[in-house]
Amino acid sequence: MFSKKSIRRNFLIQILIASLLLIFSFSFILYFYIEKSIYEEKHQELINYAKNIALNKDVNSIHSDNSNTLLGLDIQIIYLKQMHSELDMYEKEKDKYTYLTLIYPFDSKKNSYLKITKEISQTKRILDKILNYIFMINIVGFLLIFIYAVAVSKMLISPIQTLSARLSNMNEHLINPIKVETLPTEFEPLGETINHLLTRIQNFVKYQKELFIGTAHELKTPLAVIKLKNQVTLIKKRSAEEYIEALKVTNKTVDEMNIIVSNILNIGRQEGAQLEKPVEIDIIAFLREKANDFQLLASNEGKNLEMSFEPSGFMANLQLSLLNQIVQNFLQNALKFTSKNGRVLLKSSQDDFGLLIEVIDEGCGIDESIDLFAPFKRQGNKSGVGLGLFLAKSASDALGARIKIRNRLDGIEGTTASLQLNSKLSCTLPRN
């Protein structure tokens, strides 16, 4: 019914062992408490008989020939060589009967003692019945606990079974998010995590399909150009200069194909980077270093790269290569589309979600109706393959971050590329 690794099996074993120990301990204590109470009562009864007889110093009224039975009592006077001041009480079985005997001091001068014996066979039978009843109750109780444990374990793993059933019936064509509101409170974080993974899978499948289609299309076009150019060149004999010009066009087209292949290889490298061990870094220090690197490039192009960082420090555990890929793509696009003497701003600020990183340029803006994060999507009159933002989006998903590109809202033409890092794995450093 259950495998060795089953959570339900382990839960049942633990709760049954704990219940068995509890029932056994309680029953043991209860039985010995009852037995002790009954025996103490019988002991005290014999002692009271002995005290009454010893105080009167006369046993003739209750026995004859040194032996008499009164109310189940057998009273005798015995003589010992030495006087013992302590009471002596013992239990003895004879002919399937049980007797309780008390030796009590009677006359110290004659070293005489009262020997009072009482049959307690009925009491023993009652104790045996009590023991049997307790044993039967324990068996019934253990069975009830077993049934209850099975029901409780089934109830506890029901949400997990529901999640497993939902996930087992999914494929890349049918991925629906789990309704977190229908789950118990304890399973809501698990449901949200699964939904996040499902979203990433959907995006991955979507972009992979677009990537394959786009790659085939992008490579097919230059190949067709090369073939057509070669066919035209071979129609008739041409001069050496014309052959050289045809080869130059072919080489240019091959270079364009190499750029596409290089970007596709970068996608493979990025998937490997997602498996790198996260390291603890100061995001603000990283942004400051990155801005200093790009300032030289901006000044060579006659553009201004400014920076504004808040807070003064922000520690996070993440894959640095993924963050570097996003920020580098933002800055490259901003400088590429910003005209000469234009201004690019790299800034950071803290919000409720975490750390917000923004790159604001003075370029030509974007068409927000187009999914620029899809592979081979390009906008504007600048050269490019159209895989940079696709890589940035994939990297942000791997980091659990939010990425967005929109037009500026301050009346100036240009775009704002933003990345929001989650603060759950981060902490803010104190200001200097």
Strands 69-70, 97-107: pairing is unpaired
pLDDT tens column, 284-323? 999 988 888 888 888 888 888 888 888 888 888 888 888 8
pLDDT tens column, 69-108? 455 678 888 887 766 666 788 888 888 888 888 888 877 7
Q: What is the pLDDT of residue 272?
A: 55
Query: Where residue 65 falls among pLDDT bands split at 50, 70, 90?
Result: very low
pLDDT tens column, 154-167? 887 777 777 777 66
pLDDT tens column, 338-394? 888 888 999 999 887 888 999 999 888 887 777 777 766 666 555 555 677 777 887
Q: What is the pLDDT of residue 29?
A: 92
Q: Is pLDDT above 50 for 431?
A: no
Three-class secondary structure of residue 336 per DSSP: helix
Q: Is pLDDT above 70 for 215?
A: no
Over range 227-237, report the average pLDDT: 78
Q: Is pLDDT above 50 for 241?
A: yes
Q: Is pLDDT above 60 for 57?
A: no
Give CA–CA dist 159/161, Å, rounded. 5
Residues pairing with 355 in the sheet:
350, 421
Q: What is the pLDDT of residue 432?
A: 46
Q: Is pLDDT above 80 for 406?
A: yes
Beta strands in 276-374 (DSSP E): 279-282, 304-309, 314-318, 343-350, 354-360
Name the fold adopted by 279-428: Heat Shock Protein 90 (3.30.565)
Over range 274-293, report the average pLDDT: 82
Virtual CA dihedral for 215, 208, 206, 190, nearest 10 degrees? -160
φ, ψ (nearest 5 deg) of residue 139: -65, -45
pLDDT tens column, 407-427? 888 878 889 999 988 765 544
Give CA–CA dist 202/321, Å, rounded. 23
Over range 59-72, report the average pLDDT: 47
Centroid of chain to Cα 369:
39
Q: How many CB atoms lie within 10 A of CB 286?
A: 17
Across the chain, mean pLDDT equals 78
Burial group, residue 419, by CB count within 10 angstroms (0-12, 13-18, 19+): buried
Q: What is the pLDDT of residue 66?
A: 39
Q: Is pLDDT above 70 for 15?
A: yes
Give CA–CA dist 93/72, Å, rounded. 15
Residue whose C-alpha is closest to residue 43's, from 123, 110, 97: 123
Q: Is pLDDT above 50 for 140?
A: yes
Virtual CA dihedral for 16, 21, 24, 27, nearest 10 degrees? -100
Angstrom distances, CA of residue 44 to CA of 48, 72, 321: 6, 15, 87
| pTM score above 0.75 | no
Q: How many CB atoms lie within 10 A of CB 176?
A: 11
